[in-house]
Structure 1
């Protein structure tokens, strides 16, 4: 059985990738096809799905800063959307019922409210995969979307606690003892080194937190999320995330397959699920207008709202619980599963064109912007610094030090990570906070003062996105970038990057040159 679903998942994932769609859509299709052919999900797929979601929540936590969650645009934006969605959604669902559509026309007010509540959540799996595939996890809109998702997850967990009557144990208060133990835990992480102990430690912390929370009658997934946030400030947080990335992606295949295995739908159910997806534009509009009213820029609000315009796996968990309790029929569980799957496809397809669409229609969205700008959306360009380095990781820092040593104070760096920029500034590095994938950013600075832009980013898609934004501003200077492989170098040069350095080749050449200098000194 394992060979069959692995093979189907691979084939369907490959086919969707060939047509420029995320493989996750192929995994969903594989589940439905296998169910149609008579196969059923076994315990292996269920276990993989559970592990994948738990690992995903842990890695999300590793990238979160608690300060980001207490921002008004996150907590107020999330709560405002939930309330407005419930009101508008119930009205629209009751409006659909007037047409006497099967399964909808006989819904009570309580059941309608439950369905709309289940559809109020956006998919953590879908959005995180979307942001990772586009390299936008640390962008302004990426962090905003993730923050809102976390708030929604908290709401979902509260509902599950109330609905199941699962009251936390009095022993739950003992979890607070881990707060003063953080220096000791950090020391243990430091001693793990950089090898195979890093992913093993990630698994241990993830599922250790899961079991601890379950033991005190709190949802284990919340424990995994909080454990990630607990370690987010550690210097190895990024390394732990990277070490778990492949494992998380592999296990999440089980989650997407499990959705497809939910039930074999009828055409009638598929039609109702399709009607429910017509509510997605409402979800988008509510998010967009709430976010711009909270003083976010049009582009940030647009991209965040579009990424969040889908239905969630948490909605399916709520629906499954409601079905077991007799509050919702089993047919509605299938309908909601289809609606969630369709929303994944719609979001993934539309988001591929989001940047270009906004660039062509930005004036239509920007007219809704508030005149007031949030502090982190204001950018003050450094004077007399004609060289900009985008991405202050190891490569970016190496380039900064080399150029700064030769040219003096003519170099500045740009990064989307606020904590990293703060640390760099404290260490006398001329670094600034900004999102290079934001067209507004490049339009807000004087590019005539910049002669060279170095894109020191690991993802080719990120480099292409930024290059496209720069090209739209009629920038007259030069653009340089890095690549890991020869095919990436060729693709970037064809895209318009003036000079592309092969990361591995150039590192080898530099190593050889420095080594030869040692011989000359003998």
Structure 2
């Protein structure tokens, strides 16, 4: 059965990716197709799914700035959003209850409120996966979305503890002493070396200490993985650990999406309810957008954050399972929620992928929601009169910047969308501005007569480099453009739109190494 399930996942993932949807949507469809074929799920699938979610939250913790959660645009917007969305979804459910005579729609008002609360959540798994694929997990809008999702997870922990009648063990207060173990975790990461031992060290911290430790004291295991991830986020190898676990985590998450699709075989009425619930997703998006915009966030940033959250959460499945187990809800609602969550993923995927096109089509209308002030991390910028610009100030971008200084002197600047990276480069003496090269307003603000001579596109996301190159061409900038690429097909795409130099990192790194080696040999001779 396992071989068949893997075949289903690969086939549907491949087909859906070819039509422009993320492979995860194909995995959901594969789960439904596998279930409709009458096949039995292989044992251990739920365990794999849970492991994937736990590692996902651990990886979030490795990149999380806790101080960001204390900002009003995160905690206040989450609280208001959940109240408003819960009330709205309760109204939708009451209308469906009145309009449909299906037996599973017969619910008490208290049950309707519980379902409305569950439908107010957005999927952490889905949103983080989409943001990772776009390379925007650390972008300002991505950090807003992640902050809101983490606040929602905290609400979920409180709800689950109350609804299941589980009171955390008195030993739960011991988790407050976890920061005292940070030096131990740091030491383990230092001595773990590299390779498989380093990966096992990360799994031990995430699963052995975080997930299992929280479970023993009656707390949510996933929350434990998130907490220990935050504790070691400041370690110099935290980013390396996240990358080392990436492939393993991705594989485990396939199990999660497959398990969601295996919820059962829905009837026509169940499918109708799921479709109707997905049709009101734009209202949920509008609620997110209106509330986030209130804190001075620009229309583009608010929309991008909202589109990342335009879905229903797997938390809805958990709430439904609890209510069904207690006899409050019909078991049919498990299938309804599975369909609703799955369809919401299919709706949200293209919206998130093509968020820039959505923004351009709604630009004039969305601007009405902007306040008279702008959040300092979201203010559009002007490069001014510079001769060379480097977009993306990671290791490659910083190296390119330093290499241009002898030629351009102070008439050069870097641009990056990550505040922490901007601060680091400024501390190194570089002229770096906070900005997003994938932001339409960023490009509209630039003057076409700035005297730019050279632009280097060193962003890690190929689509971001492509978009920036298109903007330079469309706005009439007469300058040389160079960009990095990882694969030959990316080099071809960049060259096709007029990029004068497309630098294949892997090929050119070998040539650079050989050149340096030869120079060393001649100097020695």
TM range (shorter): over 0.9
Q: 2-side partners of 1:229 and 1:447: how far apart? A: 43
Q: Where in structure 2 are the equivalents of 1:113-512 lying within 5 Å?
A: 113-208=113-208, 209-378=210-379, 381=382, 383-446=384-447, 448-449=449-450, 450-512=452-514
Conservation of the 8 A alpha-carbon contact between 1:99 and 1:105:
no
Q: Deviations over 1:139-163 (max 9, x none)?
A: 1211111111111111111100111
Cα gap change, 1:50 to 1:401, in 2 (>3 Å)? same
2:1 aligned with 1:14: no
Q: Deviations over 1:439-464 (max 9, x none)?
A: 12222344532332211123322222
Superposed displacement of residue 384, structure 1: 4.7
Give secondary structure in 2 for the equivalent of 1:51. Answer: helix
Q: 2-side partners of 1:79 and 1:340: how far apart? A: 22
Conservation of the 8 A alpha-carbon contact between 1:280 and 1:309:
yes
Q: 2-side partners of 1:148 and 1:74: how far apart? A: 6
Superposed displacement of residue 64, structure 1: 1.1
Q: 2-side partners of 1:249 and 1:325: how far apart? A: 34
Q: 1-side partners of 2:497 and 2:189: how far apart? A: 42
Give secondary structure in 2 for the equivalent of 1:189. Answer: helix
Cα gap change, 1:88 to 1:354, in 2 (>3 Å)? same
Give secondary structure in 2 for the equivalent of 1:43. Answer: coil
Q: Which moved more, 1:495-504 or 1:28-37?
A: 495-504
Residue in structure 2 matched with residue 107 of structure 1 by the alignment: 107
The gaps in structure 1 that reach 5 residues or longer are none
Conservation of the 8 A alpha-carbon contact between 1:64 and 1:232:
yes
Say what the alpha-carbon RMSD is for the aligned residues: 1.8
Give secondary structure in 2 for the equivalent of 1:98. Answer: helix
Cα gap change, 1:55 to 1:469, in 2 (>3 Å)? farther
Q: Which moved more, 1:143-152 or 1:497-506?
A: 497-506
- TM norm structure 2: 0.95
Q: Which moved more, 1:204-213 or 1:383-392?
A: 383-392
Conservation of the 8 A alpha-carbon contact between 1:389 and 1:454:
yes
Give secondary structure in 2 for the equivalent of 1:367. Answer: helix
Q: Which moved more, 1:332-341 or 1:127-136?
A: 127-136
Superposed displacement of residue 103, structure 1: 4.3
Q: Which moved more, 1:465-474 or 1:187-196?
A: 465-474
Residue in structure 1 matched with residue 93 of structure 2 by the alignment: 93
Conservation of the 8 A alpha-carbon contact between 2:104 and 2:332:
no
Q: 2-side partners of 1:53 and 1:196: how far apart? A: 21
Q: 2-side partners of 1:53 and 1:243: how far apart? A: 16
Conservation of the 8 A alpha-carbon contact between 1:135 and 1:461:
no
Cα gap change, 1:497 to 1:367, in 2 (>3 Å)? farther
Cα gap change, 1:71 to 1:446, in 2 (>3 Å)? farther
Q: Deviations over 1:201-256 (max 9, x none)?
A: 22111102100101111111000111111122222221111111111110111111
Q: 2-side partners of 1:317 and 1:106: how far apart? A: 20
- TM norm structure 1: 0.96
Conservation of the 8 A alpha-carbon contact between 2:185 and 2:205:
no
Q: Deviations over 1:320-346 (max 9, x none)?
A: 111111121111111011010000000
Conservation of the 8 A alpha-carbon contact between 1:96 and 1:104:
no
Residue in structure 2 matched with residue 75 of structure 1 by the alignment: 75
